[in-house]
Amino acid sequence: MSLEEENRVLWNGLLEGNRQCLFDLYNTTYFHLLRFGLKICNDNELVLDCVNQLFLHLWDRRQKLQPVHQVQSYLFTTLRRIILDQISYQSKIDTAVGRMITEHEQNVTSYEEILIRVQGDQEMNQRLHTALTKLSPKQKEFVKLKFFEGLSYDEIAEKHTQSVKTCYNVIYDAIKSLKKSLAAPLREK
């Protein structure tokens, strides 16, 4: 029996709900799919995830799938679509995060200017001190590193073994809290 005939038998078994056929199809096509996927995208982890997604997708949709004569070609085509969808999705996420960081850094600059302007005002200094005490220890540390020591998000992330996105989120939440505290009306003198 040729490999393609064996794959067809396994495919038909998969359609009937036989898990062992799914596992056997996975084992016989896995390395071919990896090699094919790496020609499309050289990100090993992404390709591995997509191959696994492919077989999970097949199992979940087994009742809706049709018999296939060229099983390996079908798997290659489906894997290609999954990889391209993942690349597109990652690109959209990266663009959105980049845009958020850029917008945030523009807002941070103006916020830093506000902090510099209020340094001379004793009441505002007291309010800023009070607002800072309301932050969590992690927020205080990240704000100190970003605004008082001038570290970048990448440097903060590396120093605290966090992702850049986590650092961005912690600082963003801290700034939001500070703005809220500082935006409260000043007491009359």
* Pairwise pLDDT comparison (17 vs 185), residue with the higher score: 17
Average confidence score pLDDT of the chain: 83
- Architecture per CATH, domain 119-183, reads as Orthogonal Bundle (1.10)
Q: Same CATH topology for 3-90 and 119-183?
A: no
Cα separation, 146 vs 107, in Å, equals 14
Q: Pick the range with the lowest mean pLDDT from 31-45, 106-120, 140-154.
A: 106-120
Domain positions in the chain: 3-90, 119-183
Q: Is the pLDDT of residue 27 over 80?
A: yes
What is the SS3 assignment for 90-145?
HHHHHHHHHHHHHHHHHHHHHHHHHHHHHCCCHHHHHHHHHHHHCCCHHHHHHHHH
Query: Each residue of 50-105: pLDDT tens digit?
Result: 999 999 999 999 999 999 999 999 999 999 999 999 888 888 877 777 777 776 65
Query: Each residue of 95-144: pLDDT tens digit?
Result: 777 777 776 655 555 556 666 665 555 566 677 778 888 889 898 888 88
Question: CATH top-level class for 3-90?
Answer: mainly alpha
| Residue with tokens 């996975």, as numbered in its chain | 26
Q: Which of 1, 18, 22, 5 is nearest to 70 (CA)?
A: 5
Q: Tokens for 49?
A: 């995830």
Q: What pLDDT score does 188 carry?
A: 43
Q: What pLDDT score does 168 carry?
A: 87
Q: What pLDDT score does 14 carry?
A: 92
